[in-house]
A = this chain, B = another copy of it.
Amino acid sequence: MNKKSFLFTDIAGIKMKNPVMVASGTFGYGEEYKELIDLDKLGAIVTKTITLKPRAGNPPPRIVETAAGMLNAVGLQNVGLDVFLKEKLPGLKKITSTPVIVSVGGESILEYVKITEALNKTGTIAGIELNISCPNIRFQKKNTKLKGGIIFSQDEKITYKLVSRVRKATKLPLIVKLSPNVTDITLIARAAEKAGADVLSLINTPLGMAVDVTTRKPALANITGGLSGPAIKPIALRMVWEVTNTVKIPVIAMGGIMNTTDALEFFMVKAAAVAVGVGNFINPQTPLEIVEGIADYLKRHRIKRLKDLSLLKGR
């Protein structure tokens, strides 16, 4: 590898030339960015979440700006497993050698298992990310009054069950992506770890809402949506810190990472890698600038490995 090989990162067998990934849903199927950045320089690409069948997604408006962030209610629009396997995945593999991690969504445990089995056969993907934290796919549970049910990873037991089943179905590195919309994220993180997850990734979007006071309507047709951007960074950092202090498996951190400083904050709370989300929309160069920035920081501070970057003790 090149002169920056001290950034080389192996997470549960996913070998990345650097620890800077792009987050699911913010990078399409990869090819959308090919004219703007050198995909080969990314640590890994996580695809838009795919489901068994194609999903139409939510009606517009689907996005709206908020203070230092945005809300989205895309509704997991995606081409579905078949088209993904036939067109999108081969297309992406053709244009880059960067590890591809496929984000998987579903409405039932069985659906997750089916997609996983199909992905096993591709032979070209580096890992699977289970999106069990999408605010747009809800699971009906008896004792909740939440409109539309709960998100899988809002429940410890469902998380355990879902991850266990998928674990049995694959030998691929298994990443589990968690929702921040929970009372205690360490409980969910432990459940996923116990069930056999190789890696955790967090955070998905906190649920939010905005109102357009001129029309007196919710700004999003779906009423609520997921919040992302710098606004959520403090919440993400706190949760990553809580989780890395709780589990032994590596954590991929995301939530408002827009530049090197943001990324460093997450490494200092012991993230194994970081992912850029909406940062890609604002400046497609963000992940590559962060790679450079981290390399620089480590050199300037004579730090040999990312691991040695954690918080210093005392005040």
A269 to B235, CA, bound (A): 24
| Stretch from A64-72, A77-85, A124-132, A278-286 contacting the other chain | A64-72
Do A213 and B265 have beta carbons less than 8 Å apart? yes
Q: Check A145 for interface membership: any CB of B closer than 8 A.
A: yes
Q: Check A298 for interface membership: any CB of B closer than 8 A.
A: no
Task: Determine the chain B residues whose CB is within 8 A of the CB of A241 once the complex forms.
Answer: 209, 223-224
Do B235 and A208 have beta carbons less than 8 Å apart? yes
Residue of B nearest to A211 (CB): B265
Task: Determine the chain B residues whose CB is within 8 A of the CB of A150 once the complex forms.
Answer: 183-184
Residue of B nearest to A221 (CB): B315
Q: Check A105 for interface membership: any CB of B closer than 8 A.
A: no
Which residue from B186, B210, B231 sits with its C-beta under 8 Å from A237? B210
A147 to B145, CA, bound (A): 28
Task: Determine the chain B residues whose CB is within 8 A of the CB of A66 once the complex forms.
Answer: 230, 233-234
A230-B68, A235-B207, A242-B147 known; A312 and B184 CB under 8 Å?
no
Do B211 and A269 have beta carbons less than 8 Å apart? yes
The distance from the CB of A150 to the nearest CB of chain B, in whole angstroms, is 7
A206-B235, A231-B231 known; A242 and B146 CB under 8 Å?
yes
Which residue from B67, B209, B213, B217 sits with its C-beta under 8 Å from A256? B67
Residue of B nearest to A232 (CB): B231
Q: Check A122 for interface membership: any CB of B closer than 8 A.
A: no
Q: Check A182 for interface membership: any CB of B closer than 8 A.
A: yes
A67-B233, A190-B145, A231-B231 known; A268 and B216 CB under 8 Å?
yes
Beyond A67-B68, A213-B261, 19 additional contacts (C-beta under 8 Å) are A59-B315, A66-B233, A68-B231, A69-B231, A143-B187, A145-B184, A146-B186, A207-B238, A208-B237, A209-B269, A211-B264, A211-B269, A211-B311, A213-B264, A215-B312, A216-B309, A216-B312, A227-B234, A231-B231
A211-254 to B contact mask, C-beta < 8 Å, 1/0: 10101111001011001011111110110011001100000000
Q: Check A2 for interface membership: any CB of B closer than 8 A.
A: no
Q: Check A181 for interface membership: any CB of B closer than 8 A.
A: yes
Task: Determine the chain B residues whose CB is within 8 A of the CB of A268 once the complex forms.
Answer: 211, 213, 216
Do B227 and A144 have beta carbons less than 8 Å apart? no
A59 to B231, CA, bound (A): 25
The distance from the CB of A266 to the nearest CB of chain B, in whole angstroms, is 8
Do A146 and B237 have beta carbons less than 8 Å apart? no
Task: Determine the chain B residues whose CB is within 8 A of the CB of A143 once the complex forms.
Answer: 187
Of the A-B pairs whose beta carbons lie under 8 Å apart in the complex, a sample of 24, sorted by A's number, is A66-B233, A66-B234, A67-B233, A68-B69, A144-B187, A145-B184, A145-B186, A145-B187, A150-B183, A181-B183, A208-B237, A209-B237, A209-B238, A210-B237, A211-B268, A213-B264, A213-B265, A216-B311, A223-B241, A224-B241, A227-B234, A227-B235, A231-B231, A231-B234
